[in-house]
Chain A
Amino acid sequence: KQEVTQIPAALSVPEGENLVLNCSFTDSAIYNLQWFRQDPGKGLTSLLLIQSSQREQTSGRLNASLDKSSGRSTLYIAASQPGDSATYLCAVEGTYKYIFGTGTRLKVLA
C-alpha cells in the first residue's frame, strides 16, 4: 500500500531564504508526482508535475526533483516571499488515484 510522507510538517522562515520541502513514498511504481499549494480555506493549486520518466521540473522560483528508485521528491523554493505562505502537498499518481502526503505548512515571515 502506497504511503506518502512529507517532512517537515511545519516550517517558519524569514523572507528571502531558500528552502527545501521533502516528500517520500514507499512504492516506486508511480505514473507521476505532483506538487500542490493550498491556501487556508481554499482549493488546491497545481505547482509542478513531474512525470515518472523525468528527473525535475522548474517553474519560476520553484524546482521539483524526483528520484523514483529511492522514493523521494524535493520541492525547492528560491528567495522565499511572504506570499509563499501556504500548505504544500505532494501527491503520487497510482492507478486511477492520487495519494497525498501529509503536507508541509510553510510560513514566510516579512
Chain B
Amino acid sequence: DTAVSQTPKYLVTQMGNDKSIKCEQNLGHDTMYWYKQDSKKFLKIMFSYNNKELIINETVPNRFSPKSPDKAHLNLHINSLELGDSAVYFCASSQEVGPEAFFGQGTRLTVV
C-alpha cells in the first residue's frame, strides 16, 4: 500500500493550459504539503494544510490553487501554465508536528 500517492507521475502540457495534480495519503495524517523541486534539485515548500485548512502559502503565485476536500487529499490546480512552472512537484504528509514526514513519488511537470 502506497502511503502518499500522486497522480499523474508525468505531465507534459503547453503554455497557457490549466492542469491538476492529485495527492492522497492513507496514513491518517492531519497535515499535508506541496513542495516544488526546481532544476537545481532544491526543495521548497509551497503550501501546507492542517485538517483541510490552509496554514502556509509560501508566496506562491495565485495561479496555483490547492484544494483539500478532506484530510486525506490535497490537490494542486495550476492555471495558465508558464515555462517556469516546469519542475517536480512533491506531495507530503505528517502528523501535526514532531513525527516524520512521508513524501509521494513526485509529479514531473514539463511545460512546452
Interface string of B21-45 (1 = CB under 8 A from A): 0000000000101010000011111
Interface residues of B in 2-31 (CB under 8 A from A): 31
Residue in A closest to B45 when the chains form the complex, CB atoms:
A97
Q: Is the interface of A mostly helix, strand, loop or mixed?
A: strand
Whether the pair B105, A32 counts as a contact (CB closer than 8 A) is no
Whether the pair B100, A49 counts as a contact (CB closer than 8 A) is yes
Whether the pair B50, A89 counts as a contact (CB closer than 8 A) is no
Which of chain A's residues have a CB closer than 8 A to the CB of B41? Answer: 38, 87, 103
Which of chain A's residues have a CB closer than 8 A to the CB of B42? Answer: 100, 102-103
Asked whether B99 is an interface residue with its Cβ less than 8 Å from the other chain, the reply is yes
Interface size class of B (residues with CB under 8 A): 20 to 34
Known A-B contacts A42-B105, A43-B104, A87-B41; A98 and B92 likewise in contact (beta carbons under 8 Å): yes
Q: In the complex the two chains form, what is the Cα distance from A91 to B94 in whole Å?
A: 13
Residue in A closest to B92 when the chains form the complex, CB atoms:
A98
Which of chain B's residues have a CB closer than 8 A to the CB of A97? Answer: 33, 45, 48, 56, 58
Asked whether B83 is an interface residue with its Cβ less than 8 Å from the other chain, the reply is no
Which of chain B's residues have a CB closer than 8 A to the CB of A96? Answer: 31, 48, 50, 55-56, 97
Q: Given B43, B45, B56, B97, which contacts A31 in the complex, CB threshold below 8 Å?
A: B97
Interface size on A, residues (CB 8 A): 24
Known A-B contacts A99-B45, A103-B41; A46 and B56 likewise in contact (beta carbons under 8 Å): no
Asked whether A19 is an interface residue with its Cβ less than 8 Å from the other chain, the reply is no
With both chains docked as a complex, state the minimum distance between the C-beta of B104 and any C-beta of chain A, in angstroms.
Answer: 6
B-binding residues in A (CB < 8 A): 31-32, 34, 36, 38, 41-44, 46, 49, 51, 87, 89, 91, 93, 95-100, 102-103
A-binding residues in B (CB < 8 A): 31, 33, 35, 41-45, 48, 50, 55-56, 58, 90, 92, 97-106, 108
Interface CB pairs A-B, < 8 A, 13: A31-B97, A42-B105, A43-B105, A44-B90, A44-B92, A93-B97, A97-B48, A98-B33, A98-B92, A98-B101, A100-B35, A100-B42, A103-B42
